[in-house]
Structure 1
Amino acid sequence: MALFSYRLHKHRSLNECSITEEQGVILTSALKSNPSHMRDMSLSVNQIKDTGVNHLCDVLKDSHCKLESLWLKGCEMTDEGCSALASALKSNPSHLRDLSLTENKIRNTGVNHLCDVLKDSNCKLESLWLRDCDLTVEGCSALTSALKSNPSHMRELSLSLNELGDSGVKNLSDLLMNPQCKLENLHLNECSITEEHCVILTSALKSNPSHLRELHLSVNQIRNTGVNHLCDVLKDSLCKLERLSLIGCSITDASSLTQCFTNTKALPFLKELDLRCNLIRDSEQLERLDTRIKL
């Protein structure tokens, strides 16, 4: 019983508990009285809003706080709350490893403040989820530029459902090419990535192919040209990619993929290739080639 209580004390999940901003204030006030044991805090899909986040920041600023994972998905937080959060993390940046702000409208203003944290050499953030945060090209470009200045810790990054743009793709490619970059999971679904962008990203991956394990590019217009260049990455014996998601990417010709699965020895690492919602002419041939392919 004591061990269970200890674990419960360290890991607190309150997802979808209908917590309001007033209740969030009460909760964080309690945490402020004993901040040193909590390691994981998940308040996702609650209406704590900026008020609750601001009070949570008082906990994060405490030098005794050792929080490692913070999940605030869908908390009706805006750029004001994100700015306060970034300010708190700047004062105590070394412990947090995982941060999810997914489905909050933090926009470019909020993410610009977050960039100051990411640039800090004391920041050890390994997982950052910013899916559907209303980021435009400017915000994504600032974020990916910040990651370039401190590349060695990040392992998982989600920018899905944000506008990456030319500058964001270029900065992300520079990050992937950096020998210090150890990124393993990259989520870029619905980021308005074109086939030209895909060529830039895959060129970067070819120069540093051994770390990435998952690449999600679904619902982007990468088309046949992008797929052809992705095949060049898959053929590399150093490539350890395990999951590649290309759902709804306007792919019609999979001949390069067919050759890839027929001729290369690197593909044993690949566990799943998702090609659903594409109009691939030789889908039956691909399906016969390998059961790992979803069509």
Structure 2
Amino acid sequence: MKLLCEGLKHPNCILQTLRLYRCLISPTSCGALAAVLSTSQWLTELEFSETKLEASALKLLCEGLKDPGCKLQKLKLCASLLPESSAAVCKYLASVLICNPHLTELDLSENPLGDKGVKYLCEGLRHSNCKVEKLELSECSLSAASCEPLAQVLSSTRSLTRLLLINNRIEDLGLKLLCEGLKQPDCQLKDLALAECHLTDACCGALASVLNRNENLTLLDLSGNDFKDFGVQILCDALIHPICKLQTF
């Protein structure tokens, strides 16, 4: 990693995407990568996948992400956080979102963030400096409790346009909380994925009210939920409303 980072820092290096899949990355290696992030004018996408990173390693990496010289736009940490440090890492990432106006995509899927971790993360997402457009939190051990801070993000930021919450136990209560944010005038969300989120007919009324008010939402993924004819009928009535601009359902 040290040798690789020496090459990445060279002025002639124009590498834009770096993916590290199932690698053994130590805190020292993340320190070297942080130095790359703070100096490279070309690197815009960094992906860790199934690479278990200690909290100290992520803290060092976040220091590089917060550097004014960092131009990274896409950060993916899929299945790479340890359960005992996920909440602390979300704090580090929140501080990055407050400092880094270039980051537009954040993928934390398949990590045990839990409701506590998402609460910390949302503090950064709500900040005026945050410009994240796509946020993926699929399979992150979330419950309805995560939906209130996420709704606050939806109602306060004009940058977030894609939110993926696939395979979380959101349930009807969580969806209703999320809908409060989706109905706000400042919500610019276009793509919402709620597949496998343990939803039933009980939340369809709240979803219908969003479709009747939100002109920005164009894609809604509800696959793998327990909807019956009654709930689908409620949604279909909303789909024919003149305000509804949904294209993919």
| Range of TM-score over shorter length | 0.7 to 0.9
Q: For residues 8 and 178 of structure 1, do their structure 2 counterparts lie closer, same or farther at Cα, with a shift above 3 Å needed?
A: farther
1:226 pairs with one of 224, 231, 241: 231
Residue 164 of structure 1 and its aligned partner are, at CA, apart by 2.1
Do 1:202 and 1:230's aligned partners in 2 also have CA atoms closer than 8 Å?
A: yes
| Structure 2 counterpart of 1:263 | none
Root-mean-square deviation over aligned CA pairs: 2.5
Within 5 Å, which residues of 2 pair with 1:239-254? 239-244=244-249
**1:59 counterpart (49, 57, 64):** 64
Q: Aligned partners of 2:15 and 2:173: how far apart in 1?
A: 40
Q: Which has the larger radius of gyration?
A: 1
Q: Contact (CA 8 Å) 2:22, 2:51: kept in 1 or not?
A: yes
Q: In the alignment, which residue of structure 1 is the partner of 2:5?
A: none
Q: Percent identity?
A: 32
CA contact (8 A) 1:141 1:164 kept: no
How many residue pairs get aligned? The number is 237
The TM-score, its normalising length taken from structure 2, stands at: 0.84
Name the structure 1 match of 2:53: 48
* SS in structure 1 of the partner of residue 14 of structure 2: helix
Once the two structures are superposed, the pairs formed by residues 163-242 of structure 1 within 5 Å of their partners are 163-208=169-214, 210-242=215-247
Which of 95, 102, 106 is the matching residue for 2:113?
106
Report the counterpart of residue 143 of structure 2 in structure 1. Answer: 136
1:35 Cα deviation from its structure 2 partner: 4.2
Look up the match of 1:251: none
Aligned equivalent of 2:94, options 86, 99, 105: 86
Per-residue deviation at 1:41? Answer: 1.5
Q: Which residue of 2 aligns with 1:284?
A: none
SS at match of 2:39: coil
Cα offset, 1:70, TM superposition: 0.8
Q: Secondary structure at the match of 1:182?
A: coil
Q: Which range is displaced more, 51-60 or 8-17?
A: 8-17
5+ residue gaps, structure 1? 245-295
8 A contact 2:160–2:189 mirrored in 1: yes
* AA matched with 1:196: A
Higher RCO (CA < 8 A, seq sep 6+): 2
* Aligned counterparts of 2:225 and 2:153: Cα–Cα separation in 1: 24
1:252 corresponding residue in structure 2: none
Uncovered stretches (5+) of structure 2, i.e. residues with no partner:
1-9
Deviates more, 1:71-80 or 1:94-103: 71-80
Q: Does the aligned pair in 2 maintain the 1:176–1:205 contact within 8 Å?
A: no
Aligned-partner SS, 1:161: coil
Aligned to 2:33: 28
Which consecutive aligned stretches of 4+ in structure 1 deviate over 6 angstroms post-superposition?
Answer: 5-8
Q: Look up the match of 2:6.
A: none
